[in-house]
Amino acid sequence: MSKYTMIDSIDSNFSVKNIRDLVDSYFNSPTLEKIKDESSISVYMCKISTLLGGLNQRYLVAVAPRDKHPIGTHILLSNISWKSFQARTLSGMKHDMIKHSYLPSQEPSFMADVSLTTRDEDHTEYRIDGYMGVIISLIHKNKNLYEYPPTGKLASCFETFQTVMVLQ
């Protein structure tokens, strides 16, 4: 995922901390479970409680620098110094993972404008207007270059559940 790196705060309205706080607030302070460690990262996840049936389920994923918490540890998202956050629809995940529920919000703080920066075959990248410190990528489900519009709102990005947000 090296092509998803960048970050340099240029706007006092957004910072890495308040982006993390905004994500935590939008999803109603979820608790995630540590599911694995790799060489330099730790991965935390929770399953979103929905009425969706079948193989595809919704998950929140936080990727942080590797830490010392054992696999299976439950921790609040607000206590994870994540570098990448994902709201994703995935299949094939274990079914006994910690579950979380939330109600989508239309509060003004979640209605930050996002604008297209790049269209690729498999994803579309956005930036929060006025803040260069985050890249939001929406993964294409149908390999359609124009699957997502050129502008939108932060909350709409989350609700696609095809979202990868990267800080540095």
Residues 6+ apart with CB under 8 A from 156: none
User: Is residue 121 in some structural domain?
Assistant: yes
Considering the domain architecture, whether residues 72 and 128 belong to the same structural domain is answered as no
Among residues 100, 131, 148, the one where a domain terminates is: 100
How far is it, in rounded angstroms, from Cα 29 to Cα 97?
Answer: 17
pLDDT at 134: 93
Among residues 78, 100, 122, the one where a domain terminates is: 100
Number of domains in the chain: 2
Considering the domain architecture, whether residues 92 and 126 belong to the same structural domain is answered as no
Considering the domain architecture, whether residues 39 and 94 belong to the same structural domain is answered as yes
User: Is residue 74 in some structural domain?
Assistant: yes
How far is it, in rounded angstroms, from Cα 73 to Cα 93?
Answer: 17
Considering the domain architecture, whether residues 140 and 109 belong to the same structural domain is answered as yes
Considering the domain architecture, whether residues 7 and 66 belong to the same structural domain is answered as no
User: Is residue 164 in some structural domain?
Assistant: no
How far is it, in rounded angstroms, from Cα 145 to Cα 137?
Answer: 13
What residues make up the domain containing 89? 27-100
Q: Where are the beta strands (DSSP E) in the chain?
A: 31-37, 41-48, 57-65, 74-76, 84-90, 99-100, 113-119, 123-128, 135-139, 151-153, 162-166
pLDDT at 53: 65
* C-alpha atoms less than 13 angstroms from C-alpha of 70 in its C-beta half-sphere: 1
Dihedral angle sign, alpha carbons of residues 69, 57, 103, 27: positive
How far is it, in rounded angstroms, from Cα 31 to Cα 150?
Answer: 33
List the chain pLDDT tens, one digit each, 168 residues: 333 323 333 334 567 888 999 999 999 999 999 999 999 999 999 999 877 666 678 999 999 999 999 999 999 999 999 999 999 998 877 767 899 999 898 898 899 999 999 999 999 999 998 888 899 999 999 888 999 999 999 999 999 999 999 995
